[in-house]
Amino acid sequence: MYDLIGDIHGHAAELRQLLEQLDYIPDAAGVYRHAGGRQVIFVGDFIDRGPAIRETLQLVRGMVDGGAALAVMGNHEYNALAFWTFDPTGGHLRPHKPVHIIQHLETIKEFRSKELFAEWQDYLAWFYTLPLFLELPGLRVVHACWDARYIARLRAWLPDDRLTPEFLLRASRKGSAEMDAVEITLKGHETDLPGDHHFFDKDGHRRTKMRTAWWRDPAAATYNDYFLEPIEALAGQPVDVAALPNASYYQDETPVFFGHYWLKGEPRLLTPHSVCLDYSVARGGELVGYRWHGEQTLTPTGLVRVVNGH
């Protein structure tokens, strides 16, 4: 069975603490293992933001390579590959704009020496080994959004569910089907805000598109339920489903685990079959996990958080 762990973002101390709470103990090589044979599944976003990115990568990769864990790619690992990959037409696949540099800055700083930069390049190569999603007996894992249509497209393009340099190039072209599939899977669905409404994201950028709760039926929701940032003027209004470009939502009974959304407050289930494990550890929140025993209907008692953490 599996213990699923949310976005770490360089918070290695909290990761060690959560692993120990889940009864994982480092072996002689420093790889955390469970005496009962359980495995961790990491939902991505190991890098950026936090104070111990290199240590986090050492811990996560050590467990994955040592058979003690599985992991999927997060959007920050994907962004890093694009940031460091040259575009044949000039520049990089992820342009080195100030906003992109700032998001990646803590990682850049940690690996800035010549010796450590060689190590960083090895981690970039390792990111290619991470699948974009996992479908295992009884559960699914993805960084941001399990939309069966885009999962099917990625499976058709990528037989082992992993990026290739050639696919990364195609997925970096605006308007491409490959970009749509990767963006939705690793970053989630977005929709235009109605009228002239906007909000400022966690980094202070003005946004007119909003991430949406793809696990929730919009026809039975208010904007407060369906949008992942509060828009006070819309909060109590029913969602205008006709105005949505994509009103589908997750209705399967296979549990799906994901991160990405910087949730706040008390960790909770989103539905009986979906749970987000990202509770903003890099913004003063908590590192959260779920101890899964094979149940189809998830339970709040499965949620685990770092005790005495932030």
Mean pLDDT rounded to a whole number for the chain: 95
Task: Tell me the two tokens of residue 4.
Answer: 């699923």
**Spatial distance between the Cα atoms of 289 and 276, rounded to a whole number of angstroms:** 9
**Phi, psi (5° rounding) for residue 219?**
-70, -15
Q: Percentage of residues in the chain with pLDDT exceeding 90?
A: 85
**Spatial distance between the Cα atoms of 73 and 123, rounded to a whole number of angstroms:** 12
Residue 308 contacts by C-beta under 8 Å, 6 or more apart in sequence?
17
pLDDT tens string 80-114: 999 999 999 999 999 999 999 999 999 999 999 98
pLDDT tens string 258-295: 999 999 999 999 999 999 999 999 999 999 999 999 99
**Which residue has better confidence, 229 or 138?**
138
Q: What is the mean pLDDT of residues 123-141?
A: 98
Give exposure, 87-117, as e/b (b: 16+ Cβ within 10 Å): eeeeeebbeeeeeeeebbebbbebbeeeeee
**Is the predicted pLDDT of residue 310 greater than 60, yes or no?**
no
pLDDT tens string 207-221: 888 899 999 999 999
pLDDT of residue 307: 62
Q: What's this model's pTM, rounded to 2 decimal places?
A: 0.95
pLDDT of residue 188: 96
